[in-house]
Amino acid sequence: MEHKTQPLASWPEFLRRLGEHGFFALLVVIGSLALGTIGYRYAASLSWLDSFYMACMILTGMGPVVDMPTNAGKLFSAFYALYSGIAFLGIAAILFAPILHRILHVLHLEN
Q: Annotate 23-44 with DSSP letters as a single string.
A: HHHHHHHHHHHHHHHHHHHHHS
Rg over CA atoms, the chain = 19
Cα 110 versus chain centre, distance: 35
Query: Where residue 42 sits, what CATH number does that domain have?
Result: 1.10.287.70
What domain range is 47 assigned to?
Answer: 11-108
pLDDT in tens, 81-91: 999 999 999 99
pLDDT in tens, 2-54: 777 777 778 999 899 999 999 999 999 999 999 999 999 999 999 999 999 99
Number of domains in the chain: 1
Does residue 1 fall inside a structural domain? Answer: no
Whether residue 111 has pLDDT greater than 60: no
The whole-angstrom separation of Cα 10 and Cα 12 is 6
The whole-angstrom separation of Cα 9 and Cα 99 is 12
Beta strands in the chain (DSSP E): none
Which residues does 88 contact at the CB level (< 8 Å), separation at least 6?
59, 60, 61
